[in-house]
Amino acid sequence: MEKNRWSKVSLVAVATVLLWLKTYIVYKTSFDIKIENWKQEFILFINPLSFLMFIFGISLFMKERSQRRYILITSFLISAILFANVVFYRFYNDFLTIPVLFQTSNMSDLGSSVNELVNWTDLLNFTDFIILAALVKWKPGFIAYHNYSKLGRRAFFLMAVAIGFFNLGMAETERPQLLTRTFDREILVKNIGTYNYHLYDAFLQSKSSAQRALADGSELADIDNYDKANYKEPDKDMFGIAKGKNVILISLESTQNFVINQTVNGQEITPFLNDFIKESYYFDNFYHQTGQGKTSDSEFLVENSLYPLSRGAVFFTHSGNEYNATPEILGKNGYFTASLHANNKSFWNRDIMYKSLGYERFYSLPDYEVTEENSVGWGMKDIDFFDQSVQHLKEMPKPFYAKFITLTNHFPFELEEQDRFIEPYTSEDKTVNNYFPTVRYTDEAIKLFVQKLKDEGLYEDSIIILYGDHYGISENHNKAMGEYLGKEITPFESAQLQRVPLIVHIPGHTGKTVSTVSGQIDIKPTILHLLGIDTKNDMEFGTDLFNKERMDFTVLRDGSFITKDYVYTRDICYDKATGEQADKDACQPFMEKAKNELEYSDKIIYGDLLRFYQQIGVGNPLDNKSR
């Protein structure tokens, strides 16, 4: 009888194998994980096993009834975590982190996006759990409860540990220094698996929480030396050219540069911006550098000239830090500073973070008359938002620094038919199709806004800066994007699609296209220098875009970087002129700079190091004054 019992399969083994195979199938069908050889495929296949053996193996210490309950609950929770990653990946092309899970105040506003990302076929993600539940309920004869001996349990866990170390060893031979590349979650998931990645993420979270408590001012010395060595004097012709003028900064939601001067269905996508850049400084090699914080990350970059974090959003994780942000600097130089966004003030934790950045006023949802008629998708339509905002501008003390955050061109790119100025694109991808009408709508909104600024006498006394905050079309839509652009979307092309528009309009200046390689991190010193405020004693990584000696270089949050001649992404160096793979040695001179900047910026944020700035003997960055 006992021999017959041990010839049957244990529920632990069934649960482990079902979830193991399900995870591998999800890897192949729901995530775009690049596999280059058989070894990487094998690593991808085995990487969930050690975790699943360990987590289900805990039930070996339980009685039969408790074991069955534990296995069911654990299987469901792990499946839910995997499914959450699937949904998150569909739009963000990224994996969840613990800081993202803490962004609960955003969840109430995510309704339309989540509805677009989830469909009934997702029930298949829980097929293994349904099978497992059926086996527990009906107890078929081929499954039996095994009462393992102490030696048997020890052997089981030793096998789990051995598989784990075998997996890690293979991963390290394929990708040396794997666990130091925390900014590249695809590499981590590919090599150690989704579940082990989440455990590692938990370790990183506890580590980052401890960094502030253990930090001291001595860590700033090397960063300050690097910063001073890379500082460029402002261009003499442009420094102070807009001194005393108002600053109107407009964040263009999800607007990528490929729409500029292009058409869809024979019609211009951005007719107003196409004309506006002819009388403005237009930066056509300008990249977004955001991470998981998306729009809030772009705000953080623009205001601080620091990089966002690779995990979560700084607006949530480090809103209590000391910063030397543009609003605070301008406030000390006589400016009234405000942000205008017709959304809940707590979204992205803005109500807290804006205080740390030095904003004097936040015009949020209660400051606007929002109705069903003037709302779509995520909130108030851009035309109505700008129209109502002009009254706020008129009432502000002068000069003012006012940042506008648009909404209409937000995934899932909803727009009522009567608001369309162009028809959707015609591919099999609904997201890509609907993207063009919402971009066109925002373009029209800006056109009407600029005209109203002229009508109200605000135009001539203001510089207007427009920038794209992050990508709108993720890599999950490469097929339709390739169809529209007429070329295959390779990793090189994908990196190029991270370009977003930057337009700097100074009344009275003639238009000029500037092709210097640049990013959102460069906006802060550019604005301050235009207003005649020196940044020599600021701790920042950006460079004035009008400086003729600036390096053609920008680094993205995932570690990719772009120079005048090369694009480095996914561990491959590309010739920028041809898009073909180049010798990796050509990118080598820039790798250290890219790594240093991301690491230095992370240290500043995790350690809240700017609170020690006065202690390292370089002066107080908050004491900047106009020349």
Per-residue confidence (pLDDT) for residue 138, from 0 to 100: 82
Are 397 and 361 spatial neighbours (Cβ–Cβ below 8 Å)?
no
Q: Is the pLDDT of residue 622 over 50?
A: no
Question: Distance between CA 567 and CA 496 in Å, rounded?
Answer: 8
Whole-number percent of the chain with pLDDT over 70: 91
Q: Averaged over 36-42, what is the pLDDT?
A: 88
Res. 626 pLDDT band, cuts 50 70 90: very low
The CA-based angle 337-383-506, given to 5 degrees, is 50
**Any idea what DSSP says for residue 270?**
S
Q: Which whole number is the average pLDDT over 115-127?
A: 77
- At 448-499, the pLDDT tens digits run 999 999 999 999 999 999 999 999 999 889 999 999 999 999 999 999 999 9
Mean pLDDT computed over every residue of the chain:
88
Helices 38-46 and 150-174: angle between axes, nearest 10 degrees: 150
CA-nearest of 20, 10, 38, 37 to 160 is: 20
pLDDT at 288: 98
Q: How confident is the model at residue 618 (pLDDT cuts 50, 70, 90)?
A: very low
Decide if pLDDT at 104 tops 60.
no
**Domain range 226-616, its CATH number among 3.30.499.10, 3.40.50.10490, 3.40.50.300, 3.40.720.10:** 3.40.720.10
Strand duo 286-287 + 566-569: pairing: unpaired
Among 16, 97, 290, 295, which one carries the catalytic annotation?
295
Residue 114 has pLDDT above 90, yes or no: no
User: What confidence score (pLDDT) does residue 411 get?
Assistant: 87
The DSSP call for residue 397 is -
> In 330-446, at which residue ranges do the beta strands (DSSP E only) sit?
336-340, 361-363, 375-376, 379-380, 400-405
Which residue type is seen at 70? Y
Q: Mind listing the pLDDT tens digit for each residue in 300-326?
A: 999 999 999 988 888 888 888 999 999
Q: For position 100, what pLDDT does the model report?
A: 67
Range scoring the smallest mean pLDDT among 81-85, 214-218, 391-395, 443-447: 214-218
- pLDDT, residue 84, reads 87
Confidence band of 530 (pLDDT split at 50, 70, 90): very high
Q: Is the peptide bond before 412 cis (omega within 30 degrees of 0)?
A: yes
pLDDT at residue 180 in the model = 61
For residue 266, what is the DSSP state? Answer: T
Report the pLDDT value the prediction gives residue 523, as an integer from 0 to 100. 98
C-alpha dihedral sign at 413, 434, 498, 503: negative
Determine the average pLDDT of the residues in 126-138: 87
Q: How far apart are CA 455 and CA 122, in angstroms?
A: 52
Percent of the chain with pLDDT over 90: 63
Cis peptide before 491 (omega within 30 of 0): no
- Does the pLDDT value for residue 79 go beyond 70? yes
Q: 10 Å Cβ neighbour count for 437?
A: 24
Can you give the pLDDT at residue 397?
96
Query: Which residues, at least 6 apart from 441, have a Cβ–Cβ distance to it below 8 Å?
Result: 381, 382, 383, 408, 409, 415, 419, 420, 421
Structure token digits, residue 361: 């006023």
**Per-residue pLDDT for 112 more than 70?**
no
User: What pLDDT is attached to residue 313?
Assistant: 84
What angle, 0 to 180 degrees and rounded to 10, lies between the N-to-C axes of helices 220-229 and 588-606?
Answer: 130
Chain length of the chain: 627
Q: What confidence category does residue 18 fall into, taking pLDDT thresholds of 50, 70 and 90?
A: very high
Enumerate the CATH 3.40.720.10 domain ranges in the chain, comma separated: 226-616
Task: Summarize the confidence of residues 369-378 as an average pLDDT.
Answer: 88
Do residues 351 and 361 lie in contact, with contact meaning Cβ atoms separated by under 8 Å? no
Q: Is the pLDDT assigned to residue 537 strictly greater than 90?
A: no
> Would you call 176 exposed, middle or buried from its count of C-beta atoms within 10 A (0-12, 13-18, 19+)?
exposed
- pLDDT for 341 equals 96
pLDDT at residue 362 tops 90:
yes
Does residue 513 carry a catalytic annotation? no
Read off the amino acid at residue 108.
Answer: S
CA distance 366 to 376: 17
The residue to which tokens 């001649």 are assigned: 565
Q: Answer whether 159's CB lies under 8 Å from 53's CB.
A: yes
pLDDT(182) > 60:
no
The beta strand positions in 493-535, using DSSP E, are 502-505, 512-514, 518-519
**Confidence check: pLDDT of 368 > 70:** yes
With H, G, I as helix, E, B as strand and everything else as coil, classify residue 286: strand
The pairs formed by 427-433 with CB atoms below 8 angstroms and a separation of 24 or more are: 427/480, 427/483, 427/484, 428/479, 428/480, 429/477, 429/479, 429/480, 431/116, 431/473, 431/477, 431/480, 432/473, 432/477, 432/480, 432/481, 432/484, 433/480
The yes-or-no verdict on residue 103 having pLDDT over 70 is: no
Per-residue pLDDT reduced to its tens digit, 247-285: 999 999 999 999 999 999 999 999 999 999 999 999 999
pLDDT tens readout for residues 581-596: 999 999 999 999 999 9
Q: What is the mean pLDDT of residues 341-362?
A: 90
Look-up of token digits 């803005």 = 350
Strand order across the beta sheet in which 462-468 lies: 361-363, 336-340, 400-405, 246-252, 462-468, 502-505, 281-283, 512-514
